[in-house]
Structure 1
Amino acid sequence: MESQANYSRSGSQEQLTFQCAPPKMHPDQLVRSAPTPPYKGAPGYKCSVYYYWWRYLKFSTDYRKTCKHDGHGTCARLYKDFGNLYQTSFSEWWQQRWHLFVEPPAATIVDNNTAFDDQADILIIKLDRSRGPEAIKRSLEALHLQIHYPERCNTQPRSAADYPVFARPILMTLHRQLQVYKLKTRFAHVPDAQIADWAGVVVNNKLDGMTERQLVKAGIPTDRLHAKIRRAKNRVVQRDYRMACSLIANAAKGVFPKSDTR
C-alpha cells in the first residue's frame, strides 16, 4: 500500500493510504514508492494509475453518452461517483474524487498517551465494526506489524477502497496502449506498422541474431528482416488496440486496469 498525507476532507493533514501511488499534484508532495514513469519526463500527476483510470474512462462512448444526458444512461451508477469527466481537468477531478480510492482503515490508533500505570505502554485502538470481521482482522494484524515489526510492513493486504485497482499497473504499457488506441481511431486507414512507429513501439530488430547493418556488411539481403519487423509491429499494435478497447470497456464498469483479451 502507498501512504499519502496530503489530503483531508476536513482540511487537516492526516495519514491516508492508497493501493497504488497517488498522482503527485504538487512539487513538495511526498510520494513513497513512486512507480516507473509512463514515459521519460512525464509530469508527476501522470505517474499514477489513477490518472490513466480517468484518461481511459474518457474514451468510453457509453460514459460520454451518460455524461451528455446528465447522468442518465448505461453508466448512471458510475456517474454518481465519478461525475462528468469532460467538464473538468484531471487536477480538479482528483481533488474532488480522491476519496473513492482511499483505503479506509478498519482499526486505527486514536490515542497513545493513556497508561494504566507508570510502566504501562497503552495504545487505544478504534474499530469500525461495520467493515466486518475479516477487514478488522487484517487491520489489526497490520497494526501489530506496524508497532512491533515495522521492518516487515511490506505486505499487500486486500484493497477495501470503493474502487480498488484491479491489477498491478505498468504505466508504460498503459500509456503505449492508449497512444495506439488514439492513433488507430484517428487514422483508421494508416498501416499498423506506421502506427507503431508513431506510438514509439519497439520490436526485435535482428534476423538470426544480426542487425540490419551487420546483414548489409555481410552482403545478406535485408528483405526478410524488414518483413519480420513489420509483422512484429503489426502484432503489437493489434494486441495493444484490443487491450485498450477492453480496458476502456471495463473502466466504464468501474474496474481498472482490467483487460479481457490478449
Structure 2
Amino acid sequence: MSVTITAADINKLRQTTGAGMLDCRKALTESNGDFEAAIDWLRKQGQKVAAKRSDREAKEGVVIAQTTADNKSGIVLCVSAETDFVSLNAEFVAFVKAIADAAIANNVNTAEELNAVTIGNETVADMVNDKLAAIGEKIAITRFERVNAEYVASYIHGANRMGVLAGFNKVAVDAGKDIAMQIAAMNPLAIDETSIPAETIARERAIAIDQIKAEGKPAEMAEKIAVGKVNKFLKDNTLLHQPFVKDNGKTVADYLKSVDADLKLVEFKRVALG
C-alpha cells in the first residue's frame, strides 16, 4: 500500500538532512514514507546528510548543565520553547536555572521525577504549565540526563544552546573542562568503538557498500573499501580517537594520557538545540 508523502514530510527530511527538496521527495517515495529508511536512501546515493542525533530535538529553548558541589554528579536539562524571543529572555533562562537547581537539590534522576519536585508551593510540572499560559508558547522539559562519577565536569556553550557533562574516574579539573569542550565541539557518538552499537556499525557498513557499488566498483572491492570507510566513521565519531581540538597533533586519548596515565572518561552526555 502506497503512503501519501506530504509537503510537511518532505520539509522535515530536508531540515534534518540538508538534502534538496526533490531528493527528499524521492527518498520518502522509495522508502514508502519511512523517515529513517529515507535518510539511509539518501546516503546510499552518495549524499552527505546531517547525522540524526538524539541531542538535537528542540529548535529553541534553554539548556542548563551543572554539577553538585562535590562534583560527584551532574545534570543537563533542556526546556524547549517555540521561539528564540522566549529562549533568549533572561527571565526564562532564570526559570530554567531554578528547575536545574531543584534537580540538583533533590537528587533527581529522570524527567518524570523532576516534574514531581516541589519548588515553593508548586510542582515543576505546574510551574511549566503556568509559564506556558503566561507566555503563550508551548514549553516542556524535553531532555534530562544525569551522570554520576568520581568527578563530573559540566560545560554550557552558546548562550545556553548546548550543555555537556563529562564523568571521570578521578578528579580532573582542567582536563574535565577541556574534554567537555571537545565533546561540545566535535559531537562524538561514544567514548570508543566498544561503545558503538553493533547495529550502527552494520548500518554504516551496508551504506558504504551500496555507495561503492553505485560508483560501479565490483562487489569484492566494495567489501574491502567499506572496511576503510567504517574505520573512518569510528575514528570520526569516537571521542578517544578524535584529534584533540587544542592540539590536532594528538588524539584525545593521547591528551588524557599526558595529563594522567590512569585518567579515564567513563561517561558523557551532550544536549543541544537546533
TM-score normalised by length of structure 2: 0.27
More strand by share: 2
Greater Rg, structure 1 or structure 2?
A: 1
TM-score normalised by length of structure 1: 0.28
